[in-house]
Structure 1
Amino acid sequence: MQYHLARWMGAALAAAALCACASLEPVQTAQKMIGSPESAVRGTFGAPTETYQLAGGTSRWIYSKQPLGFDVYAADFDAAGNLVRFRQMLTEKEIYEARPGIWTKHDVAERFGLPREPVQYYPLMKREAWSYRLYVGAYQPAHFSAYFDDRGVLDRTMIIVDPLGGDGHDRSK
């Protein structure tokens, strides 16, 4: 009886460790899963916060850690439902690919997920702002904002560094 209990506990600890690795290093974990079916990705990372159909029968699953976290991950699948790419979306590189005057709210949501911070409207500018938390540089907390005109077209993006840190964690320890 004790042997079976010990074996069960060992299996439970191994499963917990796998989940911990997936949550601590999701990109590294997912890179090892390239080519895996959607069911394997769901089994490792859980249900996505959003899903989007992309061109050519491909799809994207968004895993948002917002508003308290600093990450939004995208899992891209081919038309057969196999993982082809997994990456952190809230990076300066991804943000600089945004196309003001061309992208719409749907394009921004497809790239970064829907905002989890309250949406702001600035009547004097006639702009709606979606805000996301991210790290820039050497783990400097910041806010990324996407501003939309009244037609829902991206007007501009902005990254503002938070000099106070914003999350109460001392990263120097």
Structure 2
Amino acid sequence: MKRLLLILCSLLAAIGLPACDYFAVRDLKPGVSTVAEVRARLGEPQTVWPNADGTTTWEYSRQPQGAECYMATIGTDGVLLRLEQVLNEASFARVESGMSQDQVLRLLGRPASRQHFALKQETVWEWLVDRGDTDAPRYFTVSFGEDGLVRGSGRYSRPRG
């Protein structure tokens, strides 16, 4: 049964549907799951972030179609320490003016889009945070100045059209 589910999830992931993340994440257990199990369930990370304590954090962004970004912290022994979905209010509240683009990437993962506005001399990154199955999709945005530092952040909904 698990093999059939894995095949189905692999097929859905191949066509761009993040539907199987629920099953993959549910099966991963901090303190128990190994690097091999994380890779088997979530695939290769988009980014590997080194941490000061020797651990690494693997980024699994589901942007631009998905509204999730999982950060899996792997211990020096190759065991999963923590698995977090970081596109949430607590993470958004940590975005502060003056942060660098790398700091924001480390916190929220790869954005759904990046747009440069020459007249405003700013770049805006956005993350899909709610697909809006019943209403308009919602986004979290971060604005950067020409110096690459955060100017501000916000939220908006994009009406379906």
The two structures share one fold, judged by TM-score above 0.5: yes
Structure 2 unaligned runs (5+)?
Answer: 13-18
Within 5 Å, give how 1:26-105 maps onto structure 2.
26-30=24-28, 32-101=29-98, 103-105=99-101
Q: Which runs of 5+ in 1 are unaligned?
A: 1-9, 167-173
Greater Cα radius of gyration, structure 1 or 2 = 1
Task: Deviation per CA, 1:97-144: give whole Å up to 9, x if none.
Answer: 11222x211111112222242x21122332111111112999862111
The match for 1:114 is 110
CA pair 67-17 structure 1, distance change in 2 beyond 3 A? closer
TM-score w.r.t. length of structure 1: 0.74
For residues 67-103 of structure 1, what are the alpha-carbon distances to aligned partners after superposition, in whole Å with 9 as ceiling and x for unaligned? 11111111112233321111111112211111222x2
Query: How far apart in 2 are the matches of 1:73 and 1:138?
Result: 21
Percent of aligned positions that are identical? 25
1:93-172 → structure 2 map (5 Å cutoff): 93-101=90-98, 103-117=99-113, 119-135=114-130, 141-162=137-158, 164=159
May I ask how many residue pairs the two structures share in their alignment? 153
User: Alignment partner of 1:56: what SS?
Assistant: coil
Question: How many angstroms apart in 1 are the aligned matches of 2:145 and 2:21?
Answer: 36
CA apart distance, 1:59: 1.1
1:13 and 2:13 matched? no
Deviation at 1:161, TM superposition (A): 2.6
Deviation of the 1:50 alpha carbon: 1.7
Tell me how large the CA RMSD over aligned residues is: 2.9
**In structure 2, distance between residues paired with 1:137 and 1:11:** 30
Q: Matched residues in 1 for 2:144 and 2:54: separation?
A: 28
* In 2, Cα distance between equivalents of 1:139 and 1:85: 32
Q: Which amino acid aligns with 1:44?
A: R
**Stretch of structure 1 that moved more, 149-158 or 11-20:** 11-20
